[in-house]
Amino acid sequence: MQTIHDEIVPAKAPWSQVIAAGDILKITDLEGQQAVDFLCYDANDTGDRYSTMNTIKVQGNVYIGLDTVLYSDSGKALMTVVEDTIGKHDTIYGCCSTANNRLRYDVETTETCYANFERILSGHGMGKEAIVSNVNWFMSVPVLPDGSAGITQTELQPNSFVSLRAETDVLAVLSNCPEIHNPCNGYNPTPIKVTVLRDDAHADHRESEILPAAFGK
């Protein structure tokens, strides 16, 4: 595999890039215990976006792990998990937001994953309607037999990673979560690394589109 893009995403920052069909997006938790909120869209029809419900129903499991296919609203396969050092990732708790932090913790915040998604998606001509229930990589939300659920602090090893193969041209969007009011980031947001890999046989035929990362707080 050839590395065609390798970048550190600062703590609390958003990131996006079009991943060409067949390319691999690797997300690495450099220091451990860092949640990464993630959405993806058909790059050729961004109205067709990742669907939590289709993904859960097709695989019959509320967690995402090795071999999970991320499906869109239309039922199109967007990305497949091809490597995973964690085993299961959250699909149900969504992203932090100003409203959510006010309701849950009685605090007013401006640094949130929802705000990150708004900012990074605006660069693609997309609005709030594009923000749907997302994947939370490296985040543990156990669901108990009585239906109760909550974020738990899990000791994750530095350099834990998940790799996803694009099944079509995909716009991948993430927020390196800034939340400090629950244990999803160990109360200390840290940088992550994103890497795009391409099979050597296709490396000379297509270049992924590098888009502004829109870093900032």
pLDDT per residue rounded down to tens, the chain (217 residues): 999 999 999 999 999 999 999 999 999 999 998 999 999 999 999 999 999 999 999 999 999 999 999 999 999 999 999 999 998 999 998 999 999 999 999 999 889 999 999 999 999 999 999 999 999 999 877 777 787 766 666 667 899 999 999 999 999 999 999 999 988 888 999 999 999 999 987 665 554 444 444 444 3
Paired strand residues for 135: 38
Query: What values do phi and psi take at 184, rounded to 5?
Result: -60, -30
pLDDT of residue 183: 83
Paired strand residues for 69: 80
pLDDT of residue 206: 53
Predicted TM-score of the model (pTM):
0.90
Q: What end-to-end distance do the CA atoms of the chain give, in Å?
A: 34
